[in-house]
Structure formats: C-alpha cells, structure tokens
C-alpha cells in the first residue's frame, strides 16, 4: 500500500525490513532520498515517472487522506457520533474532497455560490478565485447541512445569516475554518475561510520589502513610543506585516499585548485578546483595559472609529508603542483618515511615527517563467519612458495549475514622519501635499516598488497595475 512522504518529494510504494521502493518525479530531489536512506537505514530503490503523472498521483493520494474533525471537550455524545462516524454519504465525501483540494493548493477561501440550476464552487488561490466544480441543487442542500453540522449552526434556520467555526485536521495540517452562511434567492451562500494553525509566521525579511524599506520598518518597530499604522484594503496582508513586526521586537523584558478580531495566529510570549462586541469588548474597551496591564507594546487589530483612535493616540503619547491598521489606499491618505474620524491634527503629528501601505501581488511561477519585451502601451501605463526593458511572465505549467503564478509577495510604501512632515501635518492633512513633501525626502510609492519587482522578474505589470491603479 503506497503512502505519502511528509515533504511530498516521494511516494513510498513498498517497504519491508530491509528495503523500500519509492516513486519520484523525473526532476526529483536526491537529498530527500539520501535523507530517507539515512533515517530508515534501508536500501532505497527509486522508480522515476514524469512530473505530470507524479502530480496526478500525489493529488490522488491526498484525496484518500482522511479528514478528521476535532471536537471541543464539552460537545455532546450525539455531536461526536455525527462528526466522527465513518459516513459514506455523497455530501460528506464531497465536503471532504473540497476541503482536501483547498488544502493541497494552499487556498485561503472556498465559496459555494448557489444559482437557479446549479451551485458553483470556487477556490481562492493566491488571492484569485478559480472555478473548481459544480453541484446540482439537490446535492447542495445536503452539502450546506453537512457544513452547518460541522460548524455547530442551526441546520433548520435558512432565513438569517449564520457564522460558525470548524476545527479540522487534513493530513498533517491543522485548520481553523471560519464559516459564513448567508441566505440568497436560490439558497444559502457559504464561504469558508481557511486559517492554517500550523502555518509559519513570516519575518520582516520574508515579506518582500526592499532593503531600504525593510530598514525603515525595522526602525519604526523599534520606536519606544508612538503609533505605527499599516494600511491597505481587506486581504492586503496587513496582519501578516504587524505579526512580522511583533516577532522582530518580541522580547522577554517587554510586555506585548494584542487586541484582535479574530486572533489569527497564536504567538508565544505575546498576550492576545479576542474582541467580543456581544459582551461589550470592543477595540476601544479592550484598549482601555490593556492600558491598565502595564504594556510596553500594544497591537490593535484595526482603528475603525474615533473612540479607538483617541485611546490609541493617548496610549502613544503616554509612552507606549501602538501598532494598528486602517483602511486607506496609500500611506499619506492615512493622515486624512485620522482627521476624518475626529483626531486633531496636532495630536496626529505628535503621535504617529510612520505609516506602511501595502498590497499583495502574485509571484511569477519560477518553473515556467519566460522573458519578453513590453510594448509601448504597457510602459505608458506604468509611467516608464520608452527604452529597452525585459519583463517576465509565466506561460503556465503543472506546478502553478496553468495560471503562470505561484505564491504571493507584497509591494509597499513606507512613510516615516520626520519633524518637517509633522509640521506640515499641523497645517494641512491633504494627502497630495504630504506625498509631494515626502517624495523630496526619498519616499518611494507602491507603484515604484512594484516596477522594481517587475524588472527583477518577481511579478508582472498586470498584477501591479491591478492592485495599485
């Protein structure tokens, strides 16, 4: 009986006390085979097959791995029986297959979109939705019921939105899956957000910052007090950047407390608080409580109202470093946003030390990347003068599921507020004026950072333009 290796570098086809046979792709990693030989102390024979055939075999093996649903201790016997039973019903198998597929392609979300004659299942991979399968209406009702049972939602209630959570183990990965169910004209629309608990947090070096921007972010994270804001739309990787900054400054001699909605990653050495508006624990209330806990560094998930902003400013002015996020298009606009929600300009100038704006772009697949010469129109859209440039794109292969992209990175702009910019903020909160003044001091916009990554063959011009313009 063949089984998967932990790294997916090989598949164990046969094994006895003395020897083993493993299946590998034509471009296999010889070090992983040597490591296996050393670890097992056996004679390891290899069977080489084409990469495409190997990819299919891997997918087939993954689909046979069992999905185990973890239960809270206080669940009833009846719930445990429902979730742990070896049920072979089509709905159970279908939900398992979809979750396994989402896990195997490192998807962030799964969408179930019901229409009149069918339900379309779409998987978000590297920030882009891809059609995966279609489900007939009769089967879809059972699929929704299965998901609701897993998330402990009311199966009979189909008229109001419901939210829940599933803890699930897929192979060697542990997931917290957030479930959102919303009624539509043709049935209930379901979205699953997959958060891998075993996923590794990124460091500042791994975010995709240019060397000069990385140095600026390090300086901002090491400030003794003040506010540092990360800005961008939903799904731009703001939380990842905040966690990277916390990892950089984490220290046993510092008291670090976070207030989040939800707590996405558990970090050792940092106290994390989950917002709960139902019992009155909002960002503002949590922030007030945290200030009585003698913190050195506070991370607030989002500044979304004047109350939270005022408490954050007071915390910064009384000697605390406050890290948080706001929703604006670029770094200078964050100043305008704070003014709009009611913070006085002199308080903004006194408390804010720096702003990081960011977007996520897909990276070109390294297995099928090829160079090309951009035309005049492409250069014009990027604001580049005519010249001899080499851009890159992915033509699509089995490694990237034919998309030409594999993985994501960030494009950034980092605005440090020096004394001159703070004086300017006292007089005007106009984003254009702040941007123009910052550019005189070497401020690099997200578009400029994106162009650098295009020229280095990391991403494409269409990706950068789609998120910046």
**Percentage, residues of the chain above pLDDT 90:** 61
**CB-based contacts of 395: which residues, under 8 Å, 6+ apart?**
368, 370, 404
pLDDT digits (tens, 9 = 90+) for 238-282: 999 999 999 999 999 999 999 998 787 778 889 999 998 889 899
Measured CA to CA, the distance from residue 229 to residue 354 in angstroms comes to 7
What's the average model confidence in pLDDT over 345-354?
Answer: 96
What's the average model confidence in pLDDT over 352-366?
Answer: 95
Measured CA to CA, the distance from residue 358 to residue 348 in angstroms comes to 21
Please report the pLDDT score of residue 220 as a whole number. Answer: 97
Please report the pLDDT score of residue 182 as a whole number. Answer: 97
Residue 174 bridge partners (DSSP) = 169
Of the listed ranges 35-39, 160-164, 211-215, 310-314, the least confidently predicted one is: 35-39
Residue 462 pLDDT class (50, 70, 90 cuts): very high
Please report the pLDDT score of residue 5 as a whole number. Answer: 55
Q: What angle do CA 194, 287, 412 make, to 5 degrees?
A: 55
- Residue 367 phi, psi (nearest 5): -80, -25
Q: What angle do CA 449, 229, 319 make, to 5 degrees?
A: 135
Residue with more model confidence, 70 or 112:
112
Q: Is the pLDDT of residue 41 over 60?
A: yes
Measured CA to CA, the distance from residue 114 to residue 132 in angstroms comes to 14
Summary mean pLDDT of the chain:
87
Give the DSSP H/E element, type plus range, for residue 242. Answer: helix 238-249
CA distances from 222 to 271, 415, 420 (A): 19, 15, 21
Residue with more model confidence, 136 or 36:
136
What's the average model confidence in pLDDT over 78-98?
Answer: 60
pLDDT digits (tens, 9 = 90+) for 158-176: 999 999 998 888 777 778 8
How many other C-beta atoms lie within 10 A of the C-beta of residue 170?
21
Read off the tokens for 462: 């269409």
Q: Provide long-range contacts, Cβ within 8 A and 24+ apart, for 191-195.
A: 191/109, 191/110, 191/111, 191/112, 192/99, 192/102, 192/109, 192/110, 192/147, 192/166, 193/108, 193/109, 194/102, 194/103, 194/107, 194/108, 194/109, 194/110, 195/264
C-alpha of 190 from chain center: 20
Residue with more model confidence, 69 or 310:
310
Residue with more model confidence, 345 or 138:
345
Please report the pLDDT score of residue 78 as a whole number. Answer: 34
């Amino acid at each position: 009986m063949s089984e998967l290796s932990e790294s997916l570098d090989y598949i164990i086809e046969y094994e006895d006390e003395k020897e083993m046979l493993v299946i590998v792709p034509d471009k296999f990693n010889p070090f992983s085979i040597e490591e296996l030989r050393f670890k097992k102390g056996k004679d390891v024979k290899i069977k080489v097959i084409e990469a495409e055939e190997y990819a299919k075999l891997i997918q087939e093996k993954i689909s046979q791995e069992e999905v185990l649903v973890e239960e809270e201790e206080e669940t009833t016997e009846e719930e445990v029986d429902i979730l742990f039973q070896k049920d072979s019903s089509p709905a159970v198998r279908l939900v398992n297959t979809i979750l396994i597929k989402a896990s195997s392609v490192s998807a962030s979300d799964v969408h179930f979109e019901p229409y009149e004659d069918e339900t379309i299942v779409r998987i978000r991979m590297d920030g882009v939705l891809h059609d995966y399968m279609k489900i007939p209406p009769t089967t879809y009702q059972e699929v929704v019921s299965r998901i609701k049972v897993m998330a402990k939602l009311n199966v009979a209630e189909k008229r109001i939105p419901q939210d829940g959570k599933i803890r699930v183990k897929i192979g060697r990965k542990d997931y917290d899956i957030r479930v959102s169910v919303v009624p539509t004209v043709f049935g209930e629309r379901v979205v699953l957000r997959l958060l891998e608990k075993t996923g590794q947090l990124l460091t500042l070096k791994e975010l995709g910052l240019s060397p000069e921007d990385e140095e600026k972010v390090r300086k901002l994270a090491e400030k003794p007090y003040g506010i540092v804001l990360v800005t961008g739309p939903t799904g731009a990787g703001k939380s990842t950047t905040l966690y990277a900054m916390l990892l950089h400054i984490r220290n046993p001699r510092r008291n670090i407390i976070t207030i989040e909605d939800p707590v996405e990653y558990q970090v050792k050495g940092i106290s994390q608080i989950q917002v709960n508006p139902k019992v009155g624990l909002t960002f503002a209330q949590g922030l007030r409580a945290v200030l009585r806990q003698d913190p050195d560094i506070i991370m607030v998930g989002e500044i979304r109202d004047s109350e939270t902003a005022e408490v954050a400013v007071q915390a910064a002015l009384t000697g605390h470093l406050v890290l948080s996020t706001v929703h604006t298009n670029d770094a200078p606009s964050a100043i305008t946003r704070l003014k709009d929600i009611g913070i006085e300009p002199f308080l903004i100038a006194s408390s804010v030390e720096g702003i990081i704006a960011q977007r996520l772009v897909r990276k070109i697949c390294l297995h099928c990347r090829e160079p090309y010469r951009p035309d005049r129109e492409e250069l014009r859209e990027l604001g580049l003068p005519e010249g001899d440039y080499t851009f890159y794109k992915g033509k699509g292969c089995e490694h990237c599921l034919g998309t030409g992209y594999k993985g994501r990175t960030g494009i950034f702009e980092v605005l440090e507020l020096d004394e001159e910019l703070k004086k300017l903020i006292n007089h005007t909160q106009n984003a254009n004026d702040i941007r123009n003044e910052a550019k005189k001091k070497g401020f690099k916009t997200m578009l400029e950072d994106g162009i650098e990554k295009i020229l280095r063959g990391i991403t494409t011009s269409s990706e950068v333009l789609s998120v910046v313009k």
